[in-house]
């Protein structure tokens, strides 16, 4: 993708969320001028950037939004929720477009009509008729401003000027006239004025500005630029400003129509003489400007002489025009001449004497560029630079780079772990305890650095929970309006930090839970008042750090869950037995909502339904290594608590081997490792069990569950790993225990991607790939195998 | 064959500009900072155009332009500075140091190629 | 080669850059009644144009490049005073 477009898309995401957030706050507090300003600025920036691309629909729509916001900003309109809806809808549409642009690099074909209907809505409060009339109405009154013809117009060929004036008058058109005076040293900045001139679009005429006097050939410096150009073009002012943007100080552009040129040719004053202004301007002229004027005047005289010498015999009108320019130039040089009724010969003679007399004395000759031009940039520099850049130094780093860094840290850990194998080998295979000790020393030094590095990279990956929470103000506003409920959102602890993977993964479960609350938990205002509650419901999103975990809680003060109703529903759906229907405690009953196939709403709602239930929420949280619990009080509200690891990047696993192959089990799940004599394993109802401290724990043969051939040595003790799943203890019969290691878990790829019994792979220090078990699946495999 | 030398400490910037230029048929030389670029010029690399970042470690872009102008054969070579929207002051400094013009980051391909045509006759 | 210098004729072709300015000026300085062929010239560096304006060599052949032919050549003609010869000499 075009990097500019990529940049725009990245910027657009930020701007869109600014606009969204701003609009919502604004609706609550429409009087805050700073808020309006913020939203307006974001929309404005958006419009500006969108103009860089060929997305006219996008520019038009953002323009309409900007106009509406501008009217709000200037106090002409006050923002109501209808306008907010339209604005939000506009930016939603844009968000959709940009998603399309991300993959297709163009707007969807439907953009035109979809945008137009919103533009009409947005323009409505501004006086809707503008929406259609706008393009022509806006451009007509702003015609070009006609400048007064400058003296340097005399440098153009007069015959051409006459023809152009006639042509411009008959077409009511204007042309841009440029004087281009490069400075002497410009070649040393690799400037090539003629090359620039050759790029002027629609160039109509080009003439030279020659030096007052050419130096003698032996003194001529070929690298000093002595000439300049005057040119006329039909190109637009914007094109010219762009073309000459590197040399603005060498350029003067005027816009002239036929009349202005004709007035110059006949020496008439412009219709509205601006005597005061010109007097003030004249007073303000610096010495350098006078010199420049002299330079121009001299060039005009030279040109006049040229046309007298080389042109075909001049006709009356042309001759008097030349005479007038000569008179004007002579006056500027302070040597007025009488040119009342000239003929070509007298004029030529006058010119010759003028050119001799009025030649600027050497010390008067301004070495181009004049000193003013030199000084100006320095002054601007000082004004612009009041002491360095303002603002914090924050790097925007591509997420992939951080991910890569994290991978490298993982590999470093693995390489580091390799040292312990080497230390063992040094002792066992080569019999050197000393070397083994030294390697271990090296290892511990390296270990410390690796740990710090890992912590540093993890820190870079940390994001505040506000990133996950930011979508909820909008979501809750939209849903509550649709459901006709009044809901207030309170967020707490949004500055709590967690790994970006956790934040990202948290998004969907949170949305689901909030939708559930709005849909099922929260009553209408009328119902609430009938129940003696405040008419506005409250949803609270809270985040707190808890050691290595972050706890996110979504609480509402809605109607709560009726445990009896839940139990009955579960029984009807065949999820619980009749016995359970009687015996389940209220809190266990609430937990039933997490069972697959359970849904408390009588109908699948268009909001939270969508075919996934709370079981999906629990599954996705558990996949992150987290847990979900729910508490509810009938009539008082429900709170759902998600507990997630602060970081998912590094997982501690316990390595065990089964049938000669090693597997990893997340340490979080491991309760203890025990060795029991084979005789102590018992059997209850076809299930192996072991009795530990009086508790009967079922034992699963991991080899059998994974369908691997292995028979334990009958005489040896049994190695059993006790894990805890949903509060249940289960023993895993394994061949051997190994150490605990920190690994970077990678998702399963290729053929293994479909093997649910594994949650990922990790590279071990000795180069082996470790399969990490998904215990939940393993247990259900084991259950099926029996 | 027109050779463009890119000087920027951002590998991403170098990569993206290089890919635009290579696709357009230019030969590209890159350097991570002013010193490295000076070394290349000293070794006889003779670009037809230099595009340099302003803020770089070792030797900043403006110093680099000033130095590069003194390098053999570089007196009249067009040099463009990569600037941000806000670096107006730097642009003026750069011009005084001998830069031909500037580009505003991020640089769109059309814009880049257009500017090259503008400042390098026959490119 | 953008610049070919003979005893009395200089042939400028393709893109005449600033690098050609110095040899061109040296040649113009020392050549009596210099002639310059611009037929195959596509671009003239400002320094080269300036040199032609100063030394006023006879332009023997008008450029095929549109910009040079329509806009730049008249400037040279105006200052040198000499008419451009018809394209009589082969490049």
Residue A776 confidence (pLDDT): 82
Name residues of chain A where pLDDT drops below 50: 129-142, 273-288, 311-312, 361-392, 600-611
Are the Cβ atoms of A385 and B16 closer than 8 angstroms? no
**Which residues are CB-neighbours of A433 under 8 A, at least 6 positions away?**
A427
Task: Enumerate residues 167 to 196 of chain A having a beta carbon within 8 A of any beta carbon in chain C.
Answer: 182, 187, 190, 192-195
**What's the rounded Cα separation, in Å, for the pair C80 and A32?**
72
Chain C residues with CB-CB distance to A205 below 8 A: 71
Q: What is the CATH number of the domain that holds B29?
A: 3.40.50.2300
Are the beta carbons of B105 and B84 closer than 8 angstroms? yes
Chain A residues with CB-CB distance to C14 below 8 A: none
How many contacts does B have with C, using Cβ atoms within 8 A?
A: 12
**What's the rounded Cα separation, in Å, for the pair A279 and A276?**
5
Does the bond joining B24 to the residue before it have cis omega, within 30 degrees of 0? no
**What's the rounded Cα separation, in Å, for the pair A174 and A234?**
8
Which of A52, A187, A381 has the CB atom closest to B92's CB atom?
A381
State the CB neighbour count (10 A cutoff) for residue C39: 20
Residue A338 confidence (pLDDT): 60
**What's the rounded Cα separation, in Å, for the pair A187 and C12?**
20
Task: Please state the three-class secondary structure of chain B as a single string.
Answer: CCEEEEECCCHHHHHHHHHHHHHCCCEEEEECCHHHHHHHHHCCCCCCEEEEECCCCCCCHHHHHHHHHHCCCCCCCCEEEEECCCCHHHHHHHHHHCCCEEEECCCCHHHHHHHHHHHCCCC
Cα distance from C15 to chain B (closest Cα, Å)?
Answer: 6
- What is the pLDDT averaged over residues B15-43? 90
Residue A520 confidence (pLDDT): 84
Residue A299 confidence (pLDDT): 65
Residue A141 confidence (pLDDT): 38
Whole-angstrom CA distances from A114 to A52, A58, A61, A94, A127 are 21, 11, 10, 10, 20
Any chain A CB within 8 A of the CB of B94? no
Whole-angstrom CA distances from A182 to A193, A204, A369, C72 are 7, 20, 8, 17
Are the Cβ atoms of C42 and B122 closer than 8 angstroms? yes
- In a mutagenesis test of the B interface, which of A6, A189, A245, A384 is the best target, namely the one with the most B β-carbons within 10 Å? A189
Chain C residues with CB-CB distance to A223 below 8 A: 18, 21-22, 47
| B21 is a domain residue | yes
Residue A273 confidence (pLDDT): 44
**What's the rounded Cα separation, in Å, for the pair B17 and C42?**
28
Task: Enumerate residues 12 to 71 of chain B having a beta carbon within 8 A of any beta carbon in chain A.
Answer: 12, 16, 69
**Which residues are CB-neighbours of A321 under 8 A, at least 6 positions away?**
A158, A265, A266, A267
Are the beta carbons of A646 and A502 closer than 8 angstroms? yes
**What's the rounded Cα separation, in Å, for the pair B35 and A556?**
63
Confidence of residue C21 (pLDDT cuts 50, 70, 90): very high
State the CB neighbour count (10 A cutoff) for residue A507: 12
Are the Cβ atoms of A208 and C75 closer than 8 angstroms? yes
**What's the rounded Cα separation, in Å, for the pair A307 and A520?**
93
Q: The domain containing residue B71 runs over which residues?
A: 6-119
Nearest to A105 by CA among A58, A60, A63: A58
| B18 is a domain residue | yes
- In a mutagenesis test of the A interface, which of C78, C80, C83 is the best target, namely the one with the most A β-carbons within 10 Å? C78
Any chain A CB within 8 A of the CB of C15? no
Any chain A CB within 8 A of the CB of C75? yes
Q: What is the pLDDT of residues B51-110, one digit of tens each?
A: 999 888 888 899 999 999 999 889 999 999 988 766 778 888 899 999 999 998 778 888
Are the Cβ atoms of A380 and B108 closer than 8 angstroms? no
Q: Is the pLDDT of residue B117 over 70?
A: yes
Residue C46 confidence (pLDDT): 95
Chain A residue at shortest CA distance from C67: A198
| B25 is a domain residue | yes
| Cα dihedral A277, A278, A284, A287 in deg (nearest 10) | 170
Are the Cβ atoms of A243 and B118 closer than 8 angstroms? yes
Residue A358 confidence (pLDDT): 56
Are the Cβ atoms of A2 and B69 closer than 8 angstroms? no
Any chain C CB within 8 A of the CB of B44? no
Nearest to C16 by CA among C30, C33, C2: C2
Residue A133 confidence (pLDDT): 37
- Note the pTM of the prediction, 2 decimals: 0.41
Tokens representing residue B52 in the block: 């340099």
Task: Please state the three-class secondary structure of A686-701 as a single string.
Answer: CEEEEEECCEEEEEEE
Any chain A CB within 8 A of the CB of C71? yes
Which of A4, A7, A189 has the CB atom closest to B98's CB atom?
A189
List subunits contacting chain A, requiring 3 or more Cβ pairs under 8 Å. B, C
Q: What is the pLDDT of residues C51-77, one digit of tens each?
A: 999 999 999 888 989 899 989 998 987
Are the Cβ atoms of A189 and B95 closer than 8 angstroms? yes
Residue A320 confidence (pLDDT): 62
Chain B residues with CB-CB distance to C42 below 8 A: 122
Are the beta carbons of B63 and B34 closer than 8 angstroms? yes
Any chain C CB within 8 A of the CB of A226? yes
Which of A2, A190, A385 has the CB atom closest to B119's CB atom?
A190
**What's the rounded Cα separation, in Å, for the pair A742 and A648?**
12
Residue A416 confidence (pLDDT): 80
Residue A386 confidence (pLDDT): 38
Cα distance from C65 to chain B (closest Cα, Å)?
Answer: 13
Alpha helices by DSSP H, listed for A110-180, are 111-123, 130-139, 158-171
Q: Where are the domains of chain C?
A: 3-79
Chain A residues with CB-CB distance to B75 below 8 A: 188
Q: How many domains does chain B contain in total?
A: 1
| B1 is a domain residue | no
Any chain C CB within 8 A of the CB of A400? no
Q: What is the pLDDT of residues A39-58, one digit of tens each?
A: 877 777 777 667 667 777 88
Residue A319 confidence (pLDDT): 64
Bridge partners (DSSP) listed for residue C44: C16
**Which residues are CB-neighbours of A129 under 8 A, at least 6 positions away?**
none
Does the bond joining A407 to the residue before it have cis omega, within 30 degrees of 0? no
Chain C residue at shortest CA distance from B122: C15
| B58 is a domain residue | yes
């Amino acid at each position: 993708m075009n990097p500019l477009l990529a940049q725009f898309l990245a910027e657009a995401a930020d701007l869109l969320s600014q606009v969204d957030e701003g609009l919502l706050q604004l609706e609550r507090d429409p009087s805050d001028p700073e808020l309006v300003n913020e939203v307006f600025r974001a929309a404005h920036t958006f419009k500006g950037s969108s103009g860089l691309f060929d997305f006219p629909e996008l520019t038009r729509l953002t323009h309409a939004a900007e106009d509406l916001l501008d009217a709000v900003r200037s106090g002409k309109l006050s923002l109501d929720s209808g306008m907010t809806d339209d604005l939000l809808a506009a930016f939603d549409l844009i968000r959709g477009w940009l998603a399309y642009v991300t993959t297709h690099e163009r707007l969807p074909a439907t953009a035109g009509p979809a945008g137009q209907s919103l533009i009409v809505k947005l323009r409505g409060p501004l006086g809707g008729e503008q929406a259609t009339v706008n393009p022509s109405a806006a451009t007509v009154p702003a015609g070009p401003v006609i400048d007064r013809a400058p003296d340097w117009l005399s440098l153009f060929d007069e015959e051409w000027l006459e023809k152009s004036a006639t042509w411009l008058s008959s077409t009511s058109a204007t042309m841009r006239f440029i004087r281009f005076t490069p400075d002497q040293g410009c070649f040393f900045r690799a400037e090539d004025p003629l090359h620039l001139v050759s790029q002027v679009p629609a160039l109509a005429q080009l003439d030279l500005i020659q030096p007052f006097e050419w130096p003698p050939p032996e003194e001529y410096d070929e690298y000093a630029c002595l000439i300049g150009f005057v040119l006329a073009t039909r190109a637009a002012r914007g094109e010219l400003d762009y073309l000459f943007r590197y040399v603005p100080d060498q350029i003067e552009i005027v816009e002239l129509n036929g009349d202005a040129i004709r007035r110059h040719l006949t020496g008439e004053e412009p219709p509205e003489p601006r005597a005061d202004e010109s007097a003030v301007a004249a007073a303000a002229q610096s010495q350098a400007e006078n010199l420049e004027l002299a330079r121009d005047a001299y060039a005009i005289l030279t040109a006049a002489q040229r046309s007298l010498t080389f042109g075909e015999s001049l006709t009356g009108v042309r001759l008097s025009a030349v005479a007038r320019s000569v008179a004007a130039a002579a006056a500027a040089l302070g040597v007025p001449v009488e040119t009342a009724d000239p003929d070509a010969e007298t004029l030529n003679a006058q010119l010759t004497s003028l050119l001799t007399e009025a030649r600027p004395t050497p010390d008067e000759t301004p070495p181009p560029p004049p000193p003013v031009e030199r000084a100006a940039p320095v002054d601007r520099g000082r004004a612009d630079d009041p002491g360095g850049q303002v603002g914090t130094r924050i790097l925007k780093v591509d997420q992939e780079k951080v991910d890569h860094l994290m991978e490298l840290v993982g590999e470093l850990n693995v390489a580091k772990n390799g040292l312990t194998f080497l230390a063992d080998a040094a002792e066992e295979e080569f019999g050197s305890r000393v070397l083994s000790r030294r390697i271990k020393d090296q290892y511990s030094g390296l270990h410390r650095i690796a740990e710090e590095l890992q912590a540093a990279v993890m820190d870079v990956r940390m994001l505040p929970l506000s990133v996950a929470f930011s979508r909820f103000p909008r979501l809750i506003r939209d849903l509550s309006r649709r459901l006709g409920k009044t809901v207030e959102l309170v967020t707490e602890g949004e500055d709590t930090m967690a790994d970006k993977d956790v934040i990202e993964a948290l998004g969907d479960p949170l949305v689901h839970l909030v939708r559930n609350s709005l849909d099922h938990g929260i009553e209408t205002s009328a119902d609430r008042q009938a129940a003696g509650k405040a008419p506005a419901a409250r949803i609270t999103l809270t985040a707190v750090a808890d050691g290595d975990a972050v706890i996110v809680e979504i609480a509402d003060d809605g109607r709560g869950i009726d445990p009896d109703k839940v139990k009955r529903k579960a029984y009807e759906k065949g999820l619980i037995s009749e016995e359970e229907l009687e015996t389940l405690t209220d809190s266990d009953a609430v937990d039933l909502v997490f069972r697959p196939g359970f849904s408390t709403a009588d109908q699948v709602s268009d909001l939270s339904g969508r075919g996934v239930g709370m079981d999906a929420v629990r599954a996705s949280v558990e996949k992150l290594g987290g847990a979900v619990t729910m508490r509810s009080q009938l009539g008082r509200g429900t709170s759902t608590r998600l507990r997630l690891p602060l970081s998912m990047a590094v997982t501690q696993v316990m390595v065990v081997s089964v049938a000669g192959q090693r597997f990893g089990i997340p340490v979080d799940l491991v309760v203890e490792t025990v060795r029991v004599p084979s005789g102590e394993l018992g059997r209850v109802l076809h299930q192996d069990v072991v009795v530990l401290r009086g508790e009967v724990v079922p034992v699963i043969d991991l080899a059998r569950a994974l369908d691997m051939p292995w028979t334990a040595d009958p005489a040896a003790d049994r190695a059993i790993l006790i894990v805890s799943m949903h509060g249940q203890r289960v023993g895993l019969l394994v061949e051997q225990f190994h150490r605990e290691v920190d690994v970077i878990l990678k998702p399963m790829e290729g053929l293994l991607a479909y093997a649910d019994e594994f949650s990922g792979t990790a590279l071990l220090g000795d180069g082996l790939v470790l399969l990490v078990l998904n215990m939940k699946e393993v247990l259900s495999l084991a259950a099926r195998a029996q | 064959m027109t050779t463009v030398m890119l000087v920027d400490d951002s590998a991403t910037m170098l990569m993206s500009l290089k890919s635009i230029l290579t696709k357009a048929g230019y030969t590209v030389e890159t350097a991570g900072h002013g010193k490295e670029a000076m070394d290349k010029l000293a070794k006889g690399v003779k670009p037809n155009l230099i595009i340099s970042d302003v803020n770089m470690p070792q030797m900043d872009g403006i110093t680099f332009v000033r130095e590069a102008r003194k390098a053999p054969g570089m007196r009249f070579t067009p040099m463009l500075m990569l600037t941000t929207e806000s670096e107006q002051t730097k642009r003026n400094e750069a011009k005084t140091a001998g830069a031909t013009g500037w580009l505003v980051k991020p640089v769109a391909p059309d814009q880049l190629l257009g500017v090259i045509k503008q400042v390098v006759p026959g490119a | 080669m953008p610049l070919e210098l003979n005893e009395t004729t200089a042939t400028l072709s393709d893109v005449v850059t600033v690098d050609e300015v110095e040899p061109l000026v040296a040649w113009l300085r020392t050549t009596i009644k210099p002639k310059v062929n611009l037929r195959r010239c596509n671009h003239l560096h400002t320094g080269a144009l300036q040199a032609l304006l100063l030394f006023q060599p006879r332009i023997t052949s008008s450029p095929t490049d549109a910009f040079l032919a329509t806009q730049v050549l008249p400037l040279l003609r105006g200052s040198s005073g000499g008419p451009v010869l018809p394209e009589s000499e082969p490049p």
